């Protein structure tokens, strides 16, 4: 949740004018409580309890031991196609659960051709 809050408050990311959405296996109740605890602002926190959305966007290829998605970002274009995808949580992809907002902003800008 800290990642979401930091992206919400990052001017470089905001300047990209992309919608930020978080999708997790957690229940709506858990997401709501966590969002409130961390001070998540306008970012929708969507529940994907059966993993169908995660599977559709192919993020489960980097699933953690519990079978849940790790720390994966997906940029979806206006046509609904994946324009950029990057997982950071899997050991082969740095194994981190937090990425500095400037790094994400730079990668998204590059994928947008800016």
- For residue 68, the model assigns a pLDDT of 87
Cα torsion for 48, 53, 54, 59, to the nearest 10°?
Answer: -160
CA-CA distance, 74 to 59, in Å (whole number)?
8
CA-CA distance, 93 to 86, in Å (whole number)?
8
Give mean pLDDT, residues 84-95: 92
Lowest average pLDDT, out of 18-32, 61-75, 99-113, goes to 61-75
Superfamily, domain 2-111: Glutaredoxin (3.40.30.10)
Q: What is the pLDDT of residues 24-67, one digit of tens each?
A: 999 999 999 999 999 999 999 999 999 999 999 999 999 988 88
Query: CB–CB of 24/1 below 8 Å?
Result: no
Strand partners, 76: 82
80 — pLDDT class (breaks 50, 70, 90): confident
What global pTM score does this model have?
0.91
CA-CA distance, 79 to 76, in Å (whole number)?
8
Domain layout of the chain by residue ranges? 2-111
Query: CB–CB of 87/59 below 8 Å?
Result: yes
Residue 73 has pLDDT above 90, yes or no: yes
Q: With pLDDT > 70 as the criterion, what percentage of the chain qualifies?
A: 100
Largest CA distance in the chain: 38
């Amino acid at each position: 949740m800290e990642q979401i809050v930091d992206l919400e408050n990052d001017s470089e990311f905001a300047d990209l004018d992309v919608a930020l959405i978080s999708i997790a296996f957690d229940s709506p109740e858990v997401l709501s409580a966590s969002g409130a605890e961390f001070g998540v602002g306008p970012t929708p926190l969507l529940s994907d309890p059966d993993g169908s959305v995660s599977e559709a966007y192919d993020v489960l290829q980097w699933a953690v031991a519990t079978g849940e998605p790790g720390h994966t970002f997906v940029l979806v274009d206006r046509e609904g196609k994946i324009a950029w995808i990057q997982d950071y949580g899997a050991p082969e992809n740095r194994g981190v659960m937090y990425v500095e907002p400037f790094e994400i902003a730079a990668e998204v800008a590059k994928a947008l051709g800016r």
